[in-house]
Amino acid sequence: MTGAAARRPVLLVLASTYPRWTGDPEPGFVHELSKRLADDFRVIVLGPHAPDAKPREMLEGVEVVRYRYAPERWETLVNDGGIVTNLKLQRWKLLLVPGFVLMQAWCAWRLCRREKVDVVHAHWLVPQGLIAAGLGRPFLVTSHGADLYALRSGPMQALKRLVLRQAQAATVVSRAMRDAVAALGADVSKVSVVPMGVDMAGRFVPDAAVQRSRSELLFVGRLVEKKGLRYLLDALPAVLRERPDVTLSIAGFGPDEERLKAQVHELGLQDAVRFLGAVAQRICPRCTGARRCLSRPL
C-alpha cells in the first residue's frame, strides 16, 4: 500500500473546553467525541493553554495542541466555570478575549497548512465556528447551548447566521436548540440533532450486585448558574415533606459552590445534601461501575 493510500484524512477540532491533563475534572465531552474518531481520522485538537498544561501531547490517540493567548498565570479565561461565567465574575478578563480568539485563528491557519488538514470540526458557533469559516476547509459546527442562547446582540446574531450558512453541516444537542436556530433565521435543513451521548457500555455500567438506591438524587455538572441547581435546592424541602428519606448528592465544582452551600444552610438541608466535589472522569479500578464510585466518600 502506498503512503498516499495509507494516509488517513486529517481532522482539526477547534474547541475552548478540553481536558488540561489526564484525569482533569473539567468537562471532557469534546475529548470523548474526538477520540472516537481517531480510528478513521488523524485527529488534531486545538484548544487554549492553561497553567500547568502541556503545549502538546497525545491523549488516547488524539493529538492535542494548546495555544498560548496570554502570560501563563493569566490564562484563566476558560476553566473553573466556563468563559461566560468567568467574564461575569471578573470583568477584567474581557481583556483576554482578543488574544484568545486571534491566537486560536492564527494557530488554526498554521495547522491547516502544515498538517494538510482535510476537514474541521468547530465546537461552538462563536468564536470557533467563525474561525473555521475563514480557514478555507469544509467544516462542521456543533452548538452546545450557551453559544446559541447567549450573545444575542444584532451583530452577534448575524455572525452566527454567517457561520451556519458557511458550514457544510451543523449539529445541536437538542430539538429545542434546532428550534432556536430556526428562530435565528438560519437554514435548518443542514442542522441535525445529535444529543451528547452517555457511554452505557464501558463507563457507566451499574453493578447488578449492588442494589440501586430508591431515595438518592444525583446532580452531576459544573456549579454555575446556567445549570439551575439552585432551583433543585429550592424544591427539595417540598420533596422531603413527601419523602423524608430522600438525599441529594452533588458531583461537580465551580464558582457557585460557596453560594450553593450557603443556600443549603439557609434551607436547613444539611442532613439531606452532600457535596462530592470534583469526581475524576476515569472509572475507579476497584469498582465495577460508576454508581459505586460515586458512593465512595471523597
- Give me the CATH topology for the region 3-193: Rossmann fold (3.40.50)
The Cα–Cα gap between 275 and 47 comes to 30
pLDDT at 80: 85
pLDDT at 146: 84
What CATH code is assigned to 216-295?
3.40.50.2000
C-alpha cell at 243: 419523602
pLDDT at 82: 85
Identify the H or E element spanning 74.
none
Dihedral, 153, 108, 67, 61 alpha carbons, nearest 10: 120
Side by side, which strands form the sheet with 247-251?
216-220, 247-251, 273-277
* pTM across the whole model: 0.83
Tell me the mean pLDDT per 10 residues along the chain, length 298.
69 96 88 93 97 96 97 93 87 96 98 97 96 97 90 90 96 94 92 85 80 92 91 97 96 94 97 91 47 37
The residue whose grid cell reads 467544516 is: 139
DSSP state of 63: E
Q: Which of 166, 103, 94 is nearest to 134 (CA)?
A: 166
β-partners of residue 119 are: 11
Measure the CA angle with vertex 288, ends 282 and 291; round to 5°. Answer: 75
| 3-193 against 216-295: fold identical | yes
pLDDT at 44: 98
pLDDT at 193: 95
Contact 284, 203 (CB under 8 A): no
β-partners of residue 251 are: 220, 277
pLDDT at 64: 98
pLDDT at 89: 87
Domain extent listing, the chain = 3-193, 216-295
